[in-house]
């Protein structure tokens, strides 16, 4: 279940977060209640729920995200963003790592907001196995290339690449739902785990086949040596 975040505090899920609004409604109802006993019960219950709401809140933790930046200085004279993109894809394929592309520009007013969102500890932990690439599209030529390569329509934006999967999901702006980002990350991680497990099984199968061949040869040798 995804955490609920409000005013730099987070709750483990919807149930714990809703303790706060529920407590507020009960207290408000109690203040308007004329019957003294019901008023006392309501205020007591509302206070207990409000205390639980406060105790279950945790400050949002942040880390520091480190990107590999493209385009490199002078890239427009040496192949442009396309060349840098191809090198990143080759690196991802070689290392079998998925890639997160973060698009930003100097003139973008809320790019830092999206970057800050990625630096949240719960998101950053999910990015541990990714190649993290920052794509500066301040230059109009780079922006046009990004549109052609990724289908970029606006910044800030995120795009994802996973070796063996031709799709490049794109999230634009900062208002996309938390579930969309986490869903993509978890889907890629699950696919990566499945591929790793398939590779492990294939390698084990090769080792087992090799041992069987050795055992078979040894058996033939023993049969030839026996009188």
pLDDT in tens, 43-78: 999 999 999 999 999 999 999 999 999 986 655 555
Task: Indicate whether 198 pLDDT > 90.
Answer: no
User: What pLDDT is attached to residue 224?
Assistant: 57
Q: What is the pLDDT of residues 114-129, one digit of tens each?
A: 999 999 998 999 999 9
More confident residue, 95 or 164: 95
Against a cut of 0.95, is the pTM above it? no
Residues 129/64, Cβ–Cβ less than 8 Å: no
Contact 115, 102 (CB under 8 A): yes
Average pLDDT over residues 125-143: 93
102 phi/psi in degrees, rounded to 5: -110, 115
Among the listed residues 141, 181, 186, the one whose alpha carbon sits nearest the alpha carbon of residue 157: 181
Assigned token pair, 81: 């963003």
The verdict on domain 68-188 having CATH code 3.40.30.10 is: yes
Q: CB count, 10 Å around CB of 129?
A: 13
Mean pLDDT over 93-117 rounds to 93
């Amino acid at each position: 279940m995804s955490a609920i975040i409000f005013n730099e505090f987070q709750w483990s899920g919807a149930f714990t977060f809703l303790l706060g609004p529920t407590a507020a409604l009960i207290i408000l109802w109690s203040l308007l209640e004329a019957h003294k006993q019901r008023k006392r019960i309501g205020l007591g219950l509302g206070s207990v729920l409000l205390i639980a709401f406060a105790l279950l809140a945790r400050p949002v933790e942040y880390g520091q995200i480190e990107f590999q930046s493209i385009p490199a200085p002078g890239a427009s004279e040496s192949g442009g963003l396309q060349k840098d993109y191809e090198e990143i894809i080759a690196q991802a394929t070689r290392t079998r790592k998925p890639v997160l592309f973060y698009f930003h520009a100097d003139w973008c007013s809320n790019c830092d907001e999206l970057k800050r969102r990625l630096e949240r500890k719960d998101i950053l932990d999910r990015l541990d196995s990714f190649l993290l690439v920052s794509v500066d599209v301040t230059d109009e030529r780079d922006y046009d290339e990004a549109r052609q390569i990724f289908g970029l329509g606006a910044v800030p934006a995120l795009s994802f690449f996973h070796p063996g999967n031709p799709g490049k999901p794109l999230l634009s702006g900062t208002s996309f739902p938390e579930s969309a980002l986490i869903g993509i990350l978890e889907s890629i991680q699950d696919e990566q785990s499945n591929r790793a497990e398939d590779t492990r099984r294939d390698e084990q199968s090769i080792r087992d086949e090799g041992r069987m061949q050795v055992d078979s040869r040894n058996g033939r040798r023993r049969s030839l040596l026996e009188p």
